[in-house]
Amino acid sequence: MIYISRDAHFCAAHKLYNEKWSKEKNEEVFGACANENWHGHNFDMTVTVKGRVDPETGFVMNFKDLNRIIKEEIHDKVDHKNLNLDVDFMKGKLASCENLVMEFWAILAPKIHEVTSGKASLHCIKLKETNKNYAEYYGE
Amino acid sequence: MIYISRDAHFCAAHKLYNEKWSKEKNEEVFGACANENWHGHNFDMTVTVKGRVDPETGFVMNFKDLNRIIKEEIHDKVDHKNLNLDVDFMKGKLASCENLVMEFWAILAPKIHEVTSGKASLHCIKLKETNKNYAEYYGE
Amino acid sequence: MIYISRDAHFCAAHKLYNEKWSKEKNEEVFGACANENWHGHNFDMTVTVKGRVDPETGFVMNFKDLNRIIKEEIHDKVDHKNLNLDVDFMKGKLASCENLVMEFWAILAPKIHEVTSGKASLHCIKLKETNKNYAEYYGE
Amino acid sequence: MIYISRDAHFCAAHKLYNEKWSKEKNEEVFGACANENWHGHNFDMTVTVKGRVDPETGFVMNFKDLNRIIKEEIHDKVDHKNLNLDVDFMKGKLASCENLVMEFWAILAPKIHEVTSGKASLHCIKLKETNKNYAEYYGE
Amino acid sequence: MIYISRDAHFCAAHKLYNEKWSKEKNEEVFGACANENWHGHNFDMTVTVKGRVDPETGFVMNFKDLNRIIKEEIHDKVDHKNLNLDVDFMKGKLASCENLVMEFWAILAPKIHEVTSGKASLHCIKLKETNKNYAEYYGE
Amino acid sequence: MIYISRDAHFCAAHKLYNEKWSKEKNEEVFGACANENWHGHNFDMTVTVKGRVDPETGFVMNFKDLNRIIKEEIHDKVDHKNLNLDVDFMKGKLASCENLVMEFWAILAPKIHEVTSGKASLHCIKLKETNKNYAEYYGE
């Protein structure tokens, strides 16, 4: 079993705000992240796929395919967007790093399975919000 | 003459949008950066100050003072903010990297002069919007 | 289960020196790291916590709390310090990366359990001494 | 159990080309990586070793020994080389990241066992081909 | 005057070899870089352009245009190529960082002048061959 | 005129302490940097040399020579050392970044002139103490 990883980057606006709470409680819990006028980040994303190496190609999965899937399924839907307002799969959810990686997983896992005919599978998604904070999800 | 530099980081939302233009023209010129619902970045800022070394301290300027000025005069006004909506000195201006560094200069240059009693002066402000794009200003 | 990570940095002096050995044996085993007058590093530390996502906050654990714990329990005790002389929990221990991460674990694990009421737990501490060397500990 | 890691870097040329296929099929599968005149990379390699901490040294394994093994067994055989033409253990194999980490494992695992008298063992080899692509192998 | 910079990356093979010299002299001067079977790098390139800020756009030059010029005029001609064999403008020249930045300058300077109608001009090209070595050229 | 740069790294202990002042004044001016038991850093140093390109080599100066000079004249005298106690050329001087780059200049400038027979000259020394602070010196 070999693990291959591909990085992607996107720039987006968001805020952390629970609509069921008062403005005061949001600011208490989320601090500056609750700013009603939004803030934003350069998000760094790493997608890790595992599988056996195909002796014909030396690949677990062609990086070109992995790159295309990440671009079409995630990057183009979140880059230069507002994660709370513009992204279908985040509607009604808190736009935290944790929720983002779980939603990304739900989209990428079946797609990677399909494109590789089940020979490779999604292993981990890592999402870095700043140089200091990140979340990782292994699908369970 | 020695040059010292201090880095700072802030996370903010913005859009590039000229209110005098149609939505179509904004999208043509600014592309995805014109998204009406905003996007955002982790901005990396480097402030460079020049001066002679004080033999008593070995310093051009105390890094603690430089850090405090950057934090109070810039960081706290832009971090976790919307650069178009929340920042007084950007009102009515396009929130491009170029305009940001020039506004930062106008704020920091006199402050650094004042705190160092004219012994040190601002040399350059560099502002990095993404890992690939940045702007620098030397005050003229 | 989601894993969240927070980075911290500290600057410290140390030496690798086993008091039970001769100076020659120390230099043979530890090389330049045994220099009696100390050397130092910018240490980069990553603390990873695991848990389920709270639907109210979208968080495994509030990054503000994690940040505060790391700062109060570790950073403020080791930053700009001598790891051999100034740090209580390293007294009588070799100040290697390996021993440091195990001591950090002993301090942070119960604290994270307490602050999150057992909803999240420490998963890994990574400590980077230079751009080339680091140690990781998973608690067992 | 503690995990220690050591980074190494090498610069090498390679191409991805399956000699059993036509030029067209190679270009279809490997894209620009199939360029017959080669291309190259700065490869970043991380070798992770696991074991218990020796109380006499505070070490899982002396970084000097780990560094020497990586240098002699891998670095000096691949740095400033053509991975397809100059490297004995890659002869007849596709010079993909995946195949490289598996070959590196076969060389380093017994050597680390030998030098540490079985007290430490190879845990992972990570090989980064570009800022965006990497492979990891855990030996099985 | 504001300076804006854009980064680009390419992966290429090359060797440093003066055809007028013996193999021995090439190895003496260029060391491992003279390996006849090539080696390669991930090159990091920074292109800096200077000019006044256009009040309509807030830009010295549209980053989209700068990006397109770098891609078409440089990146696509050198990425996944052999700098000695595949690149027209390097024919008969030593493929050192120094010569590369001077050739890149000769291509980019008139193109940037043309695309910006002379409002902006090329200021510097920086080319990084490894994490430790780079060259910069300011056009004279 | 082309500028070439070479990076080097060293790990050292130091403190900022003016012996003519009280302990209180040192702590007021230098803060935690005045800790009497030292602290330390991974210093990153960039040495930039300028000159014309030699058509025989494509080099301003052979990187091997530049590397050797930096190693012998600076790195080996400061790496894994105490900058206040172990380094001859820092005796009696405040071990600030500013003073370090000026002392490094005094050593490297004549050596580079000598080794290149005056064909290349030292242009800049940059010294980075942490990820946030650095000093640069251009020799005057």
Contact between chains at C6 and A135 (C-beta distance less than 8 A): no
Specify the pLDDT at position D31.
97
CATH code at F28? 3.30.479.10
Contact between chains at B82 and A131 (C-beta distance less than 8 A): no
Residues F35 and F16: their CA atoms lie apart, in Å, by 8
Catalytic residue numbers of D read 33, 80, 129
To the nearest whole Å, the CA of F74 is away from the closest chain E CA by 16
Q: Whole domain around residue E32: which residue ranges?
A: 2-137
Instruction: For D49-70, write each residue's pLDDT tens digit.
Output: 999 999 999 999 999 999 999 9
Average pLDDT, chain B: 97
Q: Dihedrals φ, ψ of C3, to 5°?
A: -110, 125
Contact between chains at D9 and E40 (C-beta distance less than 8 A): no
| E43 beta partners | E10
Specify the pLDDT at position E90.
98
Tell me whether B106 touches chain E (CB under 8 Å). no
Residues D106 and E125: their CA atoms lie apart, in Å, by 42
Total structural domains in chain B? 1
- Percent with pLDDT over 70 in chain C: 100
Average pLDDT, chain C: 98
The pairing of beta strand E2-14 with beta strand B39-51? unpaired
E near F: at least 3 beta-carbon pairs less than 8 Å apart: yes
Specify the pLDDT at position D127.
98
| Cβ-Cβ contacts under 8 Å, C96 against chain D | 53, 57-59
Closest CA to C66 of C104, C116, C138: C116
| Cβ-Cβ contacts under 8 Å, D137 against chain A | 2-3
In the predicted model, residues of chain A with pLDDT beneath 50 are none
Please, what's the b/e burial string for F65-94 (b: 16 or more CB within 10 A of its CB; e: otherwise)?
bbbebbeeebbebbbbbbbbbbbebbeebb
Q: How confident is the model at residue E4 (pLDDT cuts 50, 70, 90)?
A: very high
Instruction: For F25-53, write each residue's pLDDT tens digit.
Output: 999 999 999 999 999 999 999 999 999 99
Residues A10 and A24: their CA atoms lie apart, in Å, by 30
Specify the pLDDT at position C97.
98
Closest CA to A77 of A47, A100, A49: A100
Residue reference for tokens 């070439």: F4
Given the residues A11, A80, A98, A114, the one annotated as active site:
A80
Q: What is the pTM of this model?
A: 0.97
Report helix, strand or coil for E10.
strand
State CA B67 to chain mean position distance: 14
Specify the pLDDT at position C74.
98
Mutate to test the interface with A, among D15, D105, D126, D136 (most CBs of A within 10 A): D136
Residues F127 and F134: their CA atoms lie apart, in Å, by 5
Q: How far is CA E64 from CA A42, A138, D10, E47, F54, in A?
A: 18, 36, 33, 13, 36
The ipTM is 0.95
Q: Rounded to the nearest 10 degrees, what angle do helices B63-70 and B97-115 cross at?
A: 130
Closest CA to D8 of E131, F67, E32: E131
Instruction: For C70-111, write each residue's pLDDT tens digit.
Output: 999 999 999 999 999 999 999 999 999 999 999 999 999 999
Specify the pLDDT at position E75.
98
- Percent with pLDDT over 90 in chain C: 99
If you write DSSP's letter for every residue of B24-82 in order, what string do you get? HHHHHHHGGGG-TT-EEEEEEEEEEEEEPPBTTTTBSS-HHHHHHHHIIIIIHHHTTEE
Instruction: For B49-59, write each residue's pLDDT tens digit.
Output: 999 999 999 99
Q: How many CA atoms lie within 13 A of C92 on its CB side?
A: 1
Specify the pLDDT at position F26.
98
| Cβ-Cβ contacts under 8 Å, F12 against chain C | 39-40
CA dihedral D93, D94, D95, D98 (to 10 degrees): -100
Specify the pLDDT at position D40.
98
Residues 34-93 of F with CB under 8 A from E: 48, 53, 56-60, 62-64
Q: How confident is the model at residue E91 (pLDDT cuts 50, 70, 90)?
A: very high
